[in-house]
Amino acid sequence: MLLGLSSGMFLGWSLGANDASNVFGTAVASHMIRFATAVKLSAVFVILGGLVNGPAAMDTLGGLGQIDLLAGAFATALAAAVAVAGMTWAGMPVSTSQAVVGALIGYRLFQHGSLDVASWRLLRIIVISWVACPILAAATAFLLYKLMAGVFRWLPMPLFVLDRWLRFGLLAVGCYGAWALGGNNMANVVGVYTRLDLFDSVRMGPWVFSQSRMLALLGGLAIALGVATYSYRVMVTVGRDLVKLDAVTALIAVLAEALVVDFFAHPWQLGTFALPAVPVSATQALVGGIFGIALARGIQTIKKRVLSNIVISWGVTPLIAALLSYLILPLVMRFA
Amino acid sequence: MNIRNYFKELFGARGREIEVGLDEYLHKLNGITSDMHGAIRAYLNQNTEEFSHLFGKINEFENRLDTLRRNIEAEIYGKRLLPDTRDDVLELLENLDKIPNRIQSTIREMTLQKIRIPEGLHSSLTELAGRNVQIVQVLIRVINAFLYRPHDVRDGVKELSHQEHEGDVIEQQVLKLIFDDASLELAEKMQLYRFGERVGSICDMAEDLGDHIMIWAIKRLL
């Protein structure tokens, strides 16, 4: 079982190494908090977010992949991890969420030859959510910027009071961002195992610690390990880029990202339309947030490369992951 | 910094030390500018005792301002402010520090070179030094606005610009009087020209700093 879970844990580790930088990068790069403090806060809030909100998106991916063999889950997570590592190595933009969904499709095609109508529908919703994610983040950041500009105009703050509030805000938003990341992206790490029968539920007084939550705890630990062991460089790089935006802008961008990622971590009933919890890319949400601020400031241009990178990520990442999954599965199944 | 210390610093009284230091700095800056005015007046009235006393005070003020600046800078580095706040306040201090340095060096040159100032220049030079006192007071108001009431910065900078223009007019008048005076040798004219420019430069420094402060304030108002 440990071997079966290892590929998912590796995926969690790489997610921690890359994506935690989005939320605490600013605070660490500007030396407001130590890296060690950022690691502790990220770990706590990613795990808590995963425990509380993680199961919803895990169910979505579980439903899409319908994996009922540990070897299949291992191969799928491995394919996604290899796709992420390979594309990162090649310097291509990559999203863990998109790699995992691609790998799940590869699994379904390998096992069942095709997708049923419900899965196609779910896939459509997932892809629409990916496209909507940076757009929503841009809109949220735009509104937040206008709101904050209004607040600053009506309530001008002394310099050091503003500094104190912004520092507190960056820390609070970082914690919320880690919570949102845990709630949304935990599905990428352990979603492939959801339909397996790996752990018995444990009752602790009035609470039942279900398999989903145990998986979320494991995934959270893997993400925390990734943050602790390998995220420093990415955190400082992303953080410095964000710091260049100035503290208010960085705060708004991270808050918009966290709000949108958190939004997609929950299932919503919008009239007759049921939107399931969907794992999305935190990095793309952040890019959307930065774009929204640029729009609010009256800058109406965006680097075409940034836009094309996002579009490439939507299409190429799932395709590569699906192909890898389709190729790795027969090898793993033979040894299972 | 652990999370407990972070919050202690974030909301505790210790974070106010920079503000207290800056307040004291501005208070002393006002003092040294007034003393420059007094020293020039005493020099022109050939009141040697008063001039020596004020020159001593200027040296003392300059030393204290340097120490104060270093303490505030150390405080800023130790306080983990946002990079934006840290950079702007440090730049403010570095630029501000040029004013007491210029005051000290100008008065020192005066006493070292034993500059002979013709009677005809006395009133204009006294007026120029007085204008420095006024402009530094406006600059202090602008800095206080930047620190505590960002909306008031714009008006303060407008006032600075107005005062600088007035200062410029007086400075030009002083320089013209120097070159119009047929009793002066060229070397004396050049010596007085440099002296007049250095007295007038305080107004330019204040205006330049005001322009920087305006940008820093606008940046924070989004």
Q: Per residue, what are the HEC states of B33-88?
A: HHHHHHHHHHHHCCCHHHHHHHHHHHHHHHHHHHHHHHHHHHHHHHCCCCHHHHHH
- The pLDDT score that the predictor gives to residue A244 is 66
Residues of chain A positioned with their CB less than 8 A from the CB of B90: none
Give which of A59, A89, A248 is closest to A157, Cα–Cα.
A248
DSSP annotation of A32 reads S
Three-state DSSP state, B46: coil
Counting residues of chain B whose pLDDT is more than 90, the rounded percentage is 83
Say whether residue A107 is in contact with chain B using an 8 A CB cutoff.
Answer: no
Q: How many pairs of residues across A and B have Cβ atoms under 8 Å apart?
A: 71
* pLDDT band (50, 70, 90) for residue B138: very high
Which residue in chain B is spatially nearest to A166 when comparing CA positions?
A: B82
Is pLDDT of B13 > 60?
A: no
Is pLDDT of B3 > 70?
A: no
Token pair in block for residue A43 = 């770990």
- Which member of B1, B18, B150 has the closest CB to residue A34? B1
- The pLDDT score that the predictor gives to residue A41 is 92
- The pLDDT score that the predictor gives to residue A302 is 64
- The pLDDT score that the predictor gives to residue B78 is 80
Q: Do A156 and B80 touch (CB under 8 A)?
A: no
Q: Do B6 and A41 touch (CB under 8 A)?
A: no
Give me the mean pLDDT over the B62-76 stretch: 94
Question: How far does the CA of residue A171 sit from the closest CA of chain B (Å)?
Answer: 10
Residues of chain A with pLDDT under 70: 239, 241-244, 300-303, 336
Answer for the pair A203, A209: CB distance below 8 angstroms, yes or no.
yes
pLDDT one-digit tens code per residue, B139-174: 999 999 999 999 899 999 999 999 999 999 999 999
Counting residues of chain A whose pLDDT is more than 70, the rounded percentage is 96
- The pLDDT score that the predictor gives to residue B5 is 61
Mutate to test the interface with A, among B5, B82, B91 (most CBs of A within 10 A): B82
The larger pLDDT score, comparing residue B14 to residue A315, is at: A315
Residues of chain B positioned with their CB less than 8 A from the CB of A162: 85, 220
Range scoring the smallest mean pLDDT among A151-160, A237-246, B13-22, B47-56? A237-246
Answer for the pair B75, B18: CB distance below 8 angstroms, yes or no.
yes
Say whether residue A306 is in contact with chain B using an 8 A CB cutoff.
Answer: no
Give which of A78, A123, A80 is closest to A103, Cα–Cα.
A80
- The pLDDT score that the predictor gives to residue A336 is 66
Q: Which helix (H) or strand (E) holds A211?
A: helix A211-230
pLDDT one-digit tens code per residue, B184-208: 999 999 999 999 999 999 999 999 9
What is the model's pTM? 0.84
Sorted by sequence, the CB contacts under 8 Å of residue A308 that are 6+ apart come out as: none
pLDDT one-digit tens code per residue, A160-207: 998 888 889 989 999 999 999 999 999 999 999 998 888 888 888 888
Answer for the pair A223, A46: CB distance below 8 angstroms, yes or no.
yes
- The pLDDT score that the predictor gives to residue B24 is 95
pLDDT one-digit tens code per residue, A291-316: 899 899 887 666 677 777 777 777 88
DSSP annotation of A193 reads G
